[in-house]
Chain A
Amino acid sequence: MLSKEEIIDLIFRCVEELNRQLPEESKLILEESTAIAGENSPLDSLGLVTLMICIEGNLVPLGVSINILDKLTESSNFPFVTIGEMSLWLLDQLK
């Protein structure tokens, strides 16, 4: 079972990878309070989906298989806005 810290670390690694392809003005700050969804997020839908796919891919070597995009489609409301909220949502999904 992954801890919240391990999940945050994994999300940060994917944010760093995503930042490489984002122009300066859209780069995400590595903080739990950084918005990755919603109107305050600099990410567009492509950026968000790319981030989710990266997280899915990085969970596989840890023995965790999850289709985040499917889970998000199933949710009636988008379940998180910030990196911190996403880590808690992910933790919940992995239970």
Chain B
Amino acid sequence: MATRSIKMKKSEDQKIISIISDFNIVPLSGHLKNKLKHPKFVIETAPYGQVYQSLARSSDSWLDIVWTLPERILPGFNKALQCVQVKHEDILTEVDDFAESLIRASTQKYIFVAAWHLPVSKGYGILDWQDGLGLSSLLTKCNLRLSAKISAHNNIFMLPAHSWMEGIKQPISKKLWYATKVPYVSDVFEAAAESIQQSVYAINGKSRRLIIVDLDNTLWGGVLGETGWQGVRLGGHDHVGEAFKDFQLALKALSNRGVQLAISSKNDEAVAMEAIENHPEMVLKKEDFAGWRINWNDKAANIAELVNEINLGFESIVFIDDNPAERGRVSDALHEVLVPEWPKDPAMYVETLHSLCCFDTSTITNEDRVRTAMYVSERNRQSIKQNVGSNDDWLRKLGTSVTALPVNSNNISRVTQIFNKTNQLNLSTRRLSEQEIISWGDQETRSMMAISVSDQFGDMGLVGIVSVEVSDAKGRLIDFILSCRVMGRRVEEMLIYLAVSELKKLGAKTMEVVYKPTNRNRPTLRVLEEAKLEKTGAQKFGVNFELGYGKPEFVELNFVSE
């Protein structure tokens, strides 16, 4: 895999976003400055009309946004627009050239490229979708070709420019174009800026990962306690019931993308669960929810408990409730939780959910798709814990197996996700891009392993990272990252044992462990203190290999090679 490193120049924290276009893109720059107000983002506009030159020029940008007009960047398409007969294959070759220049430019940065949008043209009328002739058909092929060329590059993303025009009565202003070479009205640039903002958050790992929903008048119509599950409005030949069912389908779609669902409702738990399991039109079943708090307690307290149980931060949560008083309470108590204004009309629920635009991620891994199932397994694990005697008996029953895998192209997306999203058990809290991770591990004095964990209840997938470095026979644990989901079952100790084993292979005689505190990683210090390491300072620990480090009981260790 190519070694790359995403640049962060000017100051260590600043991220330069460069906008490159073949039209006057200044309005986008203004909108983007208003959306990405954090001082770490510096928005720059490349010289107008110099797309290839700007891409070829070495720059310090962290992200290039490339928005071009097909009739300007593809000469062949411009001819086709005049209804001149042009071989479509020749135009696709121009697309290939454009894609190549994007790929070359992407070696040290992220690139967002806007999909092409058909300019105002009658085209060939009724024949416009005819293969080999029509402009609609041709431009679709161009977009698909561009997408196919860049898809293998995890740091190039194609943005849906057509959606920025939706709902705008006159997105294109010819007057503005003739006078200023700005083709679109301000609303289009505003929609584009919003879309780009969400995409920037996605590559920064700032997306929301858990939706906590109310039940009555949120997942179904009516009050369960008054009507029983047979009386709630959900699906069926009822326009209100259909709206609630569609909302559940929209939530299910998000769940399939890796966003988890949970319930916070003032209801009787047994009655609510009966409704969820028995109502024939329920789309969301018990196993679709990572957790729930169905009781008469304060919702803010319930949400805090749920968040703790699911091991996420409040900044990852969206709370949806039809009741403005409950929304107000949660919003006041938990500032980081996103509590959207919710419409009274259930027909608007799906649209409102989609308008949140905070669930985008730069990758969707297998772990994302089955995350809720993993939490269901976890509930089962905890339930046997309550039925067995000692902790050792429980660990024995679990049959935990740890597998160490090399970091490679198969797992780099998930590894990047773990680096950037794990807070509590994270020794150094290094936030690294995919390219930076690959680059770091590219030295013989270093070793990085991805960790997957499974037990008799299922495979929890990749949940951790261990990396070590050696210098003059002195080893150091650099990254010790583990999902909270597998904490407390001696996997932590197995990771330290693994680090020691790796360092021995690299010729080290000792291992130093330095804890770097953050606001969120205090559990790491506790784990280190309980992991039978020698304490060498307030936040320093060590292992002398002559004394050894024992392999923990009840956990099996396997290795997978390249």
Contact = CB atoms under 8 A, between A and B. Distances in A.
Interface of A: 17-18, 20-24, 26, 46, 49-50, 53, 56-57, 69
Contacts, number: 40
Given A24-B34, A53-B179, 9 more contacts: A17-B186, A20-B190, A21-B30, A21-B190, A26-B30, A46-B180, A50-B182, A53-B175, A69-B179
Nearest to B193: A21
Contacts of B37: 24
Contacts of B176: 50, 53
User: Max chain A CB contacts within 10 Å: which of B24, B182, B190?
Assistant: B182
A50 B181 CA distance: 11
> A18, A50, A57 — which one has the most chain B CB atoms within 10 A of its CB?
A50
B226 to A, nearest CB: 46
A49 B30 contact: no
Given A46-B180, A50-B180, A23 B33 contact: yes
A25 to B, nearest CB: 9
B5 to A, nearest CB: 30
B180 A23 contact: no
A20 B190 CA distance: 8
B186 A20 contact: yes
A21 B186 contact: yes
Interface residues of B, number: 18
Please provide the 4 A-B residue pairs with the shortest distance between their CB atoms, ordered closest to farther: A23-B33, A21-B30, A21-B27, A21-B186
Given A23-B34, A24-B34, A49 B189 contact: no
Nearest to B186: A21
A40 to B, nearest CB: 20
Nearest to B189: A21
24 contacts: A17-B186, A20-B31, A20-B34, A20-B186, A21-B30, A21-B31, A21-B186, A21-B189, A22-B30, A23-B29, A23-B30, A23-B34, A24-B37, A46-B24, A46-B27, A46-B182, A49-B180, A50-B176, A50-B186, A53-B175, A53-B176, A53-B179, A56-B175, A69-B179
A69 B179 CA distance: 9
Nearest to B26: A46
A50 B184 CA distance: 11
A39 to B, nearest CB: 20
B179 A49 contact: yes
Nearest to A45: B180
